[in-house]
Structure 1
């Protein structure tokens, strides 16, 4: 996966992974190939020779108020995937008050444009619209989300996040013909979370991308807070009664 950094108010995939000491997001093509041969995947950023234009666009989109520009969104997402040689792709397109697409109609229009471009590129694309008004998981912040992701890879973690993962993964397995149905694909994804295979490949990839094996062990087997940072100061807000948070409006001026 060739990924990007944060836009607007969220941390990007690379920002989250870089909270793991030693994790390298800048890989050469040879190093990417080594990762594929060793653990079947990598997650890195664009380079001087692989999607260099996307690096420039990422740097200027925030300051030019073009984060929500549909052509730039499509070019960024599909451009990187096309450069990787991806033939199949499932996109999680968020909709709601905290997303770029506030209305379902806007998301559907963006999805339609993405499907058209993907078809021209010879890619099989499935776009899944999911809500971004209700909080998902229990962690917000780069290192906190890494720790939560490790728990999910170990078969635990919040059900809301696991549900999204199995849904998207199930769609991809069905799209590629690796599953008889979307539901069968979901079962396969859940199985590798439960049996430790997903965590095993994650550990291999961490080492391939520069993380010390002892750090990997502490992160995934012992105590993650020994190797990744969290805030020294925190304030707890206690709810007056039992319940769940239903929405979060990130556009609120206060």
Structure 2
């Protein structure tokens, strides 16, 4: 998929399956500290690998729909798209919850990947080549003002994201998409090919995300001290060099503390999709 440029709109199957494959690659990747992988359930008592795979199967058809909506509504201004795709996002979440008996496996992934697929549809409809820069810019344009509307103007917080913004100024997934995935563009994508082995490449990307992503999942579970513990731990491993045994020990430490960097797992899937395209 590297180096893709299209004179005709990208097949709806292509971007949606890339996104679904990225989710599958993420959940199978092992060892992932604090997260569900092929060896254990991380810090989760209500999730396991088969549950995640069922969730991804339920989500995949809706990823096609996000891309199709981007194609269909490409003449709409970008700031109108968030409301236009929201019903699809809600339906996708309902499909996920139906497959997981109401366990939230991929709500953050649906939000970010849905926007990315929509962005790809809009760019393809304009007969423009799909690039990392172009897709990130389109996601930022579609979500301009989102943090202000949904977090800064919130007077009575009812969700974890709203409460974390009020308490700590953290913008979570909303801030990441509004910035055009700035954390990825700054801390992950430029270092993607530091590792030659694809598995180490993904694990290194996850470690970089744990080091630099202000992951609201960690704060929700362990407060700011939990976030700082994971960030400091990941930065030490990146500085000293790491082996799988180091990640296995980090996994044990995060499980003891009930910490799970779920936001970083979502961003790893986004990074995997973006790196299938030219810069």
TM interval, shorter chain, is 0.3 to 0.5
| TM-score, reference length from structure 1 | 0.41
Asked which structure has the greater RCO (Cα within 8 Å, sep 6+), the reply is 2
| TM-score, reference length from structure 2 | 0.39
Q: Which has the greater radius of gyration?
A: 1
Give the structure with the higher percent strand. 1
Give the structure with the higher percent helix. 2
